[in-house]
Amino acid sequence: MAASTFAAVFVALYVAHSVGDHWVQTSRQSADKGKAGWTGRLADTRHVATLTATKLALLLPVVLLLGLDLSFLGLVAGLGVDAVTHWWADRRTTLARLAKAVGLADFYALGTGAHPAHPLTAEGKPAAHLGTGAYALDQAFHHLWLLVAALLMATV
């Protein structure tokens, strides 16, 4: 039963993460959450609060409709770990430092003018791109912690 609970919870958290990170997060939160000082910390806190509320709002119907057996402690632990790690990564400098520490600084800069091989237009200006290494590493980091959160919810 724990395996099917884990699978259902992970899917719900994954979808809710995408909705909360891309549809619920405001442009202001996105622009400010990486800023230094209280402006950035508060914007990041507002983002994580709405993201966590989105995850809870999408998770609860799944739990109720599928009759999943989650403990209150598991739910709090899972959402708490996810919220703390999401807040940490979204401060941006923290994830950039982690990428540098593990040898991924060039990948982190991929898709930006800071990358040594960034694409250029015929006029020599930075070319448009579909994403950045920073975004890919950010999402992969969040997905790792969604897995941990789902495991906590299914087993605690």
Q: Could you tell me which of 109, 110, 48 has the C-alpha nearest to residue 79? A: 48
Q: Are the C-beta atoms of residues 59 and 86 closer than 8 Å to each other?
A: no
Determine the residue type at 24. V
Q: Taking the model in full, what pTM does it have?
A: 0.89
The domain containing residue 13 runs over which residues?
2-155
Backbone angles phi, psi at 57, to 5 degrees: -65, -35
Domain count across the chain: 1
Q: Could you tell me which of 73, 26, 33, 74 has the C-alpha nearest to residue 54? A: 26
pLDDT tens-digit series, residues 106-130:
888 887 766 666 676 778 777 666 6
pLDDT tens-digit series, residues 37-86:
999 999 999 999 999 999 999 999 999 999 999 999 999 999 999 999 99
